[in-house]
């Protein structure tokens, strides 16, 4: 194996001399079989350009820090092996459609504000039992998919509904709402509902499915959002509890 | 994002649900409408011809449902597009919604008026 | 929370290779076309109120028999069929059907679009060629 | 300058739990973290969390006493038994509480929380959520933190403690988003920054697990306890050292050497693959060293194929994904190549059972602290438990501490001066024309730790290791800052934290050299038995600003109801 070219989108809006976005190329040492994009970025930061900024966390695709736009797709840099990209040049850009802070760092404040907006916690009204709450294995299975979300923001960045409308809650927050509404232990009833049963909530989703394409954990936010829409009908039209 | 802006927008389920209901009505009624107007009678569209066809009360009903459902579906669809791009404030969204309802009702009345010569033929 | 300037340099990036993205975009465009068509259609129909014995209406209808209008009609049929069948796909997803197989359903819906379109185009173009429809008067409706 | 009553440094499980406990008592508490709390390394934990619920049919008569005993025995009796008992007692309530907060747990058919067997435990008592238990627990606590509206300052790299008259009064942080240093004053500080796994090159830990909290406290004069005990997980992926959970063996996975033998029957005939981690890891390393690795290479196989696709997909989907993404191996079809990898830091900041350190106002909880419940070797499933149990206890004790304080106004001048000091240090680093590359030194250090302080240690290699570490420590002085921009300066963080990492490495090295016995994870080929007469005691390491290595001291182990016996599995 020989060296490999990385093409990085660089921008420091607060740099007075060069605030504009520009592309820079680096040659990264690529000797062994395996090189992840994150390792490549570390190589650049350590050996070629110390001014490169990017987020990193676990390096094992569970923390959700390093979601980037790599070779035309949303990917976790740590999880992406360059050999699987089958490309001569690795193009890395920050996640598009989000406010930029520097280089690969995007502003996630809105993302988390929206996450907070849907009351992402279990709401219970009845007193807790002494032991665990009984939940069937089948019901526990229902919350597995939405619980696996790592809040990397790929879906939020990829959603055309969120591009045009800054107040749309976005797939990740709505998936979180689904995670709790579908949980048999949750007793929110109508308490959480106004936050997602809302023109800025589930009804802004047009089942474009970009979030499903983008999700590096291969989750399906749309499935959750559609469930919520049906839940709204069940509750408001048929007066059901869940 | 402004939390208040999100909180200010309540509801939306009925609009969404009616969009689906009208969609289904449209598919059924449109299939009937197109079959009778364009497949079975192509080339013969004329005042008397239409009048003959609409003498079957069922087809008149289909056309009126089509008109009402079509207007709702179209204008609500338009509203969806607008909401995606610039109706961020609740006041603006409400104003546009009311305006579109007015336009829709006007078109419905106008459309029925347009069909009237045949209904009373 | 203050409104932050959105990055502009990257707009346009996204998942333009994704099926669902194109499906939605075409859905939206066809929808907007149909909104304007609906308005135009209502206005055309309302000409029944003008002229003696529907004269204006017949004139308009004759004018719309022009080949260009018929080609436009066929294009309109494409928009209607696409919008309708993609709409069916969306309603299926709303019902929880095929969320994990939305692409298969999309292409199946597109197959139905093609079949329906072929029927319509055949009728329309044979009318253009022969000035007569294949099933003219088939149901005994007076001509 | 920003003031909060309590500042929690680190947003992992223990930090969040401490903050939640304090907030519930009505205290003004803030979390400072280098990453958003949901990105903490706690989320990478896979296997599960121990509690003697007795839900498993084979473990119906399990009790917290047995849990405490297993913990003590697993820790080779270097465990403070009062702490182990406390943890085992609290465990049961902790699990129910997490369940009531909505954490996802896998379930038995009757709807109760499922439990699986885990290494070194006499009963199946490990509660789990698939193989992503840490992720589910972490997100549950993040959610609770949002519910209680705990103030979170994210992407704040905490660089230094503010100490006034021997009392901890806050921290100075590097604000990565806005650039620049900020001082946060507080009446109490809880350090919960996790382990220092990244001082080893073969670590399963997050890249952010650099032990920053540990060396921050160490530099402020707080002793570090039992630093020589570093756990190696038996099964990390061969190329990337990413963790393959012990749950894989708990579900019935085999360890197979190059000859196709289940070699664990030689080393732990009764427990087989589910022997404690130190024993399993050494067994694997012995196989590899004696040339019985797969294909003569330095790894053995973790074979899950006989479990069947259905069980793997249902119980272990996460490690399957990891194996596919990072090793290119699908466990359903192929065995996974694994090697022992640095995993956990038994030692840490010296605290009592309530998380209090010897310094007033300073608390520590989680992996960065050493209570010590893990002694010389931690049992799988006890780390998640420790973080939550002692996070909660620290949070509660902080509240009690605040009530005893008469003067609740931290000294603003000291806070300001400490921030100034950091600014100055960065300016000096930036002005310096560095002749050494910090990343070259880092690679040398992590490699030294792996080679010289790994599974098998002996005097000669350890002495050579100390020589290397001392020379690295000397060369750190010639390191400069290559980029002086202030916004999200990754280079600055990685440069500044390096010297502290070397100090931690030296604590490990000196402690290991001094301890002339083999106990738990610390195994010496030249002293291969346990020496309870001379070494049944904790090591304390104190920072000496003028000398490179630490000053070592000892502290007695708290014994209790469990008699010392030989460890056999």
Enumerate the domain spans of chain B.
Answer: 3-119
Which D residues, 461 through 490, put their C-beta within 8 Å of a C-beta on chain A?
Answer: 482-483, 485, 487-490
State the pLDDT at residue C4.
42
Same domain? For D292 and D268 the reply is yes
Asked if the Cβ–Cβ distance from D439 to A46 is below 8 Å, we say: yes
For residues D493 and D483, the answer to whether their CB atoms sit within 8 Å is no
- How far is residue D395's CA from residue D141's CA, in Å, rounded to a whole number? 14
Alpha helices in chain A (DSSP H): 37-43, 82-85, 109-117, 137-142, 144-147, 154-158, 160-164, 170-181, 193-196, 210-214, 221-236
pLDDT digits (tens, 9 = 90+) for B82-97: 888 876 677 888 888 8
pLDDT digits (tens, 9 = 90+) for C41-76: 888 888 877 776 667 777 777 777 777 777 788 888
Average pLDDT over chain A reads: 89
pLDDT digits (tens, 9 = 90+) for B32-85: 888 877 777 655 667 777 777 777 778 888 888 999 999 999 999 999 888 888
pLDDT band (50, 70, 90) for residue D374: very high
Listed residue (D567, D431, D504, D555) closest to D210, CA to CA: D504
- How far is residue B79's CA from residue B93's CA, in Å, rounded to a whole number? 9
Question: Does the pLDDT value for residue C7 go beyond 70?
Answer: no
Same domain? For D380 and D433 the reply is no
D568 vs chain A: nearest CA distance in angstroms?
A: 34
Same domain? For D21 and D36 the reply is yes
Question: Residues of chain D with pLDDT > 70: what percent?
Answer: 100
User: Which positions in chain B touch A202 (Cβ < 8 Å)?
Assistant: 12
User: Which positions in chain A touch D35 (Cβ < 8 Å)?
Assistant: 55, 57, 63, 65
C102 vs chain A: nearest CA distance in angstroms?
A: 9
Same domain? For D94 and D67 the reply is yes
Residues of chain A with CATH 3.10.20.30: 4-106
End of a domain among D379, D412, D445?
Answer: D412
Which residues of A sit within 8 Å Cβ distance of B? Answer: 110, 113-114, 117, 160-161, 164-167, 169, 194-195, 197-204, 206, 229, 232-233, 236-237
Chain B touches chain C, with at least 3 Cβ pairs below 8 Å, answer yes
Please indicate, yes or no, if residue C1 is contained in any of the structural domains.
Answer: no
Identify the residue whose tokens are 């406990």. Answer: D21
- How far is residue B100's CA from residue C59's CA, in Å, rounded to a whole number? 32
Average pLDDT value for residue range D188-207? 92
User: Along chain A (242 residues), what's the average pLDDT of each consecutive run of 10 residues?
Assistant: 86 86 90 84 91 90 91 88 84 90 90 91 91 90 92 91 84 94 89 87 90 88 93 89 76
Q: How many domains is chain D built from?
A: 3
User: Which positions in chain B touch C124 (Cβ < 8 Å)?
Assistant: 38, 42
What CATH number is associated with residue C106?
1.20.1300.10
Nearest to A167 among B1, B11, B12 (CB): B1
Alpha helices in chain C (DSSP H): 19-45, 55-63, 67-94, 102-130
pLDDT digits (tens, 9 = 90+) for C116-128: 889 888 877 776 6
End of a domain among D412, D429, D460?
Answer: D412
State the pLDDT at residue B38.
72
Listed residue (D254, D250, D284) closest to D267, CA to CA: D284
Closest CA in chain A for residue C14: A158
Helix axes B13-34, C67-94, angle to 10 degrees: 140
State the pLDDT at residue C10.
38
pLDDT digits (tens, 9 = 90+) for D328-349: 888 998 999 999 999 999 999 9
User: Which positions in chain A touch B84 (Cβ < 8 Å)?
Assistant: 160-161, 164-165, 204
Asked if the Cβ–Cβ distance from D102 to A183 is below 8 Å, we say: yes
Same domain? For D212 and D240 the reply is no
Q: How many domains is chain C built from?
A: 1
Please indicate, yes or no, if residue D566 is contained in any of the structural domains.
Answer: no
Q: Strand A4-10 vs strand D523-524: parallel, antiparallel, or unpaired?
A: unpaired
- How far is residue D19's CA from residue D11's CA, in Å, rounded to a whole number? 9
State the pLDDT at residue C143.
35
Q: C34 at the B interface (CB within 8 A)?
A: yes
D321 versus D358: the higher-pLDDT residue is: D358
Please indicate, yes or no, if residue D562 is contained in any of the structural domains.
Answer: no
A21 vs chain B: nearest CA distance in angstroms?
A: 24
User: Which positions in chain B touch A200 (Cβ < 8 Å)?
Assistant: 5-6, 9
Asked if the Cβ–Cβ distance from A121 to D143 is below 8 Å, we say: yes
- At D182 the three-state DSSP class reads strand
Identify the residue whose tokens are 């400490």. Answer: D418
Q: C47 at the B interface (CB within 8 A)?
A: yes
- Chains near C (3 or more Cβ pairs under 8 Å): A, B
Asked if the Cβ–Cβ distance from D325 to A61 is below 8 Å, we say: yes
Closest CA in chain A for residue D137: A147
Asked if the Cβ–Cβ distance from B40 to C53 is below 8 Å, we say: no
CATH fold label, A109-236? Fumarate Reductase Iron-sulfur Protein; Chain B, domain 2 (1.10.1060)
Average pLDDT value for residue range D64-86? 92
Asked if the Cβ–Cβ distance from A137 to D109 is below 8 Å, we say: yes
User: Which positions in chain B touch C78 (Cβ < 8 Å)?
Assistant: none
pLDDT digits (tens, 9 = 90+) for D383-437: 999 999 999 999 999 999 999 988 888 888 999 999 999 999 999 988 888 888 8
Nearest to A210 among C1, C14, C90 (CB): C14
pLDDT digits (tens, 9 = 90+) for D283-313: 999 999 888 888 888 899 999 999 988 888 8
Chain A to chain D, count of Cβ pairs less than 8 Å apart? 159
Alpha-carbon distances of D249 from D38, D175, D301, D384, rounded to whole Å: 28, 43, 12, 18
Q: What is the DSSP string of D486-542?
A: -TT-HHHHHHHHHHHHHHHHHHHHHHHHH--S-BTTBEESSS-S--HHHH-EEEEEE
pLDDT digits (tens, 9 = 90+) for A118-173: 999 999 999 988 888 999 999 999 999 999 999 999 999 988 888 877 788 899 99
Does a cis peptide bond (omega within 30 degrees of 0) precede residue D169? Answer: no
CATH 1.20.1300.10 fits B3-119, yes or no: yes
Count CB neighbours of D456 within 10 A.
Answer: 15
What CATH number is associated with residue D439?
1.20.58.100
Structural domain of D51:
2-229+344-412
State the pLDDT at residue B41.
62
User: Which positions in chain B touch C120 (Cβ < 8 Å)?
Assistant: 38-39
Q: A54 at the C interface (CB within 8 A)?
A: no
D536 vs chain A: nearest CA distance in angstroms?
A: 35
Count CB neighbours of C32 within 10 A.
Answer: 15
What CATH number is associated with residue D311?
3.90.700.10
- How far is residue B62's CA from residue A184's CA, in Å, rounded to a whole number? 45
Structural domain of C87:
20-130
Same domain? For D60 and D36 the reply is yes
For residues D445 and D199, the answer to whether their CB atoms sit within 8 Å is yes
Count CB neighbours of D261 within 10 A.
Answer: 15
Average pLDDT over chain C reads: 76
A167 versus D7: the higher-pLDDT residue is: D7
Same domain? For D169 and D118 the reply is yes
Average pLDDT over chain D reads: 91
User: Which positions in chain B touch A164 (Cβ < 8 Å)?
Assistant: 84-85
Nearest to B115 among C32, C45, C64 (CB): C45
Residues of chain A with CATH 1.10.1060.10: 109-236
Query: Which positions of D are catalytic?
Result: 277
CATH 3.10.20.30 fits A4-106, yes or no: yes
What CATH number is associated with residue D352?
3.50.50.60
State the pLDDT at residue D297.
84
Please indicate, yes or no, if residue C85 is contained in any of the structural domains.
Answer: yes
Q: What angle do CA D424, D429, D431 make, to 5 degrees?
A: 95
């Amino acid at each position: 194996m020989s060296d490999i070219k990385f093409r990085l989108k660089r921008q420091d809006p607060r740099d007075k001399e060069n605030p504009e976005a520009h592309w820079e190329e680096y040659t990264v040492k690529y000797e062994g079989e395996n090189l992840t994009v994150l390792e490549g970025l570390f190589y650049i930061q350590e050996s070629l350009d110390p001014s490169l900024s990017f987020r990193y966390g676990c390096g094992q695709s569970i923390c959700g820090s390093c979601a980037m736009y790599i070779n035309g797709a949303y990917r976790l840099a740590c999880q992406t092996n360059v050999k699987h990209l089958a490309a001569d040049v690795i193009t890395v850009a920050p996640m598009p459609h989000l406010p930029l802070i520097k280089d690969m760092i995007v502003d996630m404040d809105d993302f988390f504000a929206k996450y907070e907006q849907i009351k992402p916690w279990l709401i219970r009204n009845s007193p807790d039992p002494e032991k665990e709450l009984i939940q069937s294995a089948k019901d526990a299975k229902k919350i597995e998919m939405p619980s696996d979300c790592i809040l990397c923001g790929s879906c939020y960045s990829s959603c055309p509904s969120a591009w045009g409308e800054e107040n749309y809650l976005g797939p990740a927050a709505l998936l979180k709402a689904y995670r709790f509404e579908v949980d048999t232990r949750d007793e929110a009833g109508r308490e959480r509902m106004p936050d997602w049963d809302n023109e800025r909530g589930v009804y802004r989703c047009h089942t474009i499915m970009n979030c499903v394409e983008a999700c590096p954990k291969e989750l399906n936010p749309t499935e959750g959002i559609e469930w919520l829409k049906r839940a709204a009908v069940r509750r408001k039209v048929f007066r059901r509890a869940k | 994002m402004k939390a208040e802006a999100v909180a200010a927008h309540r509801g939306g389920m009925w609009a969404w649900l009616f969009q689906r209901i009208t969609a289904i009505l449209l598919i059924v009624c449109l299939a009937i409408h197109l079959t009778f107007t364009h497949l079975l009678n192509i080339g013969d569209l004329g005042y008397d011809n239409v009048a003959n066809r609409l003498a079957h009360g069922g087809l008149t009903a289909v056309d009126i449902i089509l008109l009402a459902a079509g207007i709702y579906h179209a204008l609500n669809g338009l509203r969806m597009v607008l909401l995606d791009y610039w109706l961020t404030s609740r006041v603006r969204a409400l104003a546009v919604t009311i305006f579109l309802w007015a336009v829709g009702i006007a078109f419905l009345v106008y459309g029925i008026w347009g069909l009237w010569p045949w209904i009373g033929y | 929370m203050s409104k932050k300037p959105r990055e502009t340099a990257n707009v346009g990036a996204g998942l333009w290779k994704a099926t669902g993205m194109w499906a939605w975009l075409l859905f939206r465009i066809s929808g907007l076309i149909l909104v304007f068509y609906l308005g135009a259609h209502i206005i055309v129909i309302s000409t029944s109120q003008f002229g003696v014995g529907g004269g204006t209406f017949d004139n308009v209808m004759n004018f719309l028999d022009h080949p260009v209008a018929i080609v436009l009609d066929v294009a309109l049929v494409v928009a209607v069929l696409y919008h309708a069948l993609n709409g069916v796909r969306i309603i299926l997803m709303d019902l929880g059907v095929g969320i994990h197989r939305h692409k298969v359903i999309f292409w199946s819906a597109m197959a139905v679009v093609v079949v329906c379109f072929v029927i319509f185009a055949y009728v329309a173009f044979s009318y253009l060629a022969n000035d007569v429809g294949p099933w003219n008067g088939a149901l005994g409706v007076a001509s | 300058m920003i003031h909060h009553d309590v500042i929690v440094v680190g947003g992992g499980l223990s930090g969040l739990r401490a903050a939640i406990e304090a907030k519930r008592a009505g205290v003004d508490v803030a979390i400072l973290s280098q990453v958003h709390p949901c990105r903490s390394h706690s989320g990478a934990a896979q296997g599960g969390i121990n509690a003697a619920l007795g839900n498993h049919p084979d473990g119906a008569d399990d009790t917290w006493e047995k849990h405490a005993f297993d913990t003590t025995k697993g820790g080779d009796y270097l465990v403070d038994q009062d702490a182990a008992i406390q943890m085992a007692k609290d465990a049961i309530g902790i699990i129910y509480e997490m369940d009531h907060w909505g954490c996802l747990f896998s379930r038995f058919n009757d709807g109760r929380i499922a439990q699986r067997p885990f290494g070194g435990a006499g009963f199946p008592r490990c509660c789990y959520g698939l193989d992503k238990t840490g992720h589910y627990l972490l997100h549950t606590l993040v959610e609770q933190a949002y519910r209680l509206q705990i103030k979170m300052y994210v992407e704040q790299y905490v660089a230094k403690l503010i100490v006034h008259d021997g009392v901890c009064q806050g921290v100075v942080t590097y604000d990565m988003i806005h650039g620049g240093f900020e001082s946060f004053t507080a009446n109490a500080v809880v350090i919960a920054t996790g382990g220092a796994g990244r001082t080893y090159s073969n670590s399963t830990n997050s890249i952010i697990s650099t032990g920053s909290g540990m060396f921050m406290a160490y530099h402020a004069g707080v002793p570090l306890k039992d630093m020589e005990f570093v756990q190696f997980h038996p099964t990390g992926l061969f190329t990337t050292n990413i963790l393959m959970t012990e749950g894989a063996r708990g579900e019935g996975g085999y360890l197979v050497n190059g000859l196709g033998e289940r070699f664990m029957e030689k080393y732990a005939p009764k427990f087989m693959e589910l022997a404690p981690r130190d024993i399993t890891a050494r067994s694997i390393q012995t196989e590899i060293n004696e040339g019985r690795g797969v294909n003569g290479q330095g790894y053995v196989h973790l074979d899950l194929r006989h479990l069947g696709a259905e069980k793997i997909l249902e119980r272990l989907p996460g490690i399957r994904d990891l194996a596919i993404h990072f090793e290119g191996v699908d466990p359903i079809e192929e065995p996974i190549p694994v090697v022992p990898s640095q995993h956990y830091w038994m030692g840490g900041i010296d605290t009592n059972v309530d998380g209090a350190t010897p310094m007033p106002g300073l608390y520590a909880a989680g992996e960065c602290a050493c209570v010590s419940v893990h002694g010389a070797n931690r049992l799988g499933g006890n780390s998640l438990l420790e973080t939550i149990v002692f996070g909660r206890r620290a949070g509660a004790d902080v509240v009690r501490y605040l009530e005893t304080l008469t003067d609740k106004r931290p000294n603003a001048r000291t806070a300001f001066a400490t921030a100034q000091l950091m600014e100055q240090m960065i300016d000096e680093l930036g002005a310096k024309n560095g002749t050494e590359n910090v990343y070259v030194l880092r690679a040398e250090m992590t490699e030294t730790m792996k080679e010289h302080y790994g599974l098998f240690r002996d005097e000669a290699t350890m002495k050579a290791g100390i020589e290397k570490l001392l020379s690295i420590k000397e060369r750190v002085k010639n390191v400069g800052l290559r980029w002086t921009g202030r916004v999200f300066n990754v280079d600055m963080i990685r440069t500044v934290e390096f010297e502290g990492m070397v100090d931690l490495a030296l604590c490990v090295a000196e402690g290991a050299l001094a301890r002339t016995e083999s106990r738990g994870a610390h195994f010496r080929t030249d002293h291969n038995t346990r020496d309870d007469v001379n070494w049944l005691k904790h090591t304390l390491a104190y920072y000496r600003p003028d000398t490179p290595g630490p000053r070592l001291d000892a502290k007695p182990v708290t014994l209790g109801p469990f008699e010392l016996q030989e460890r056999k599995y």
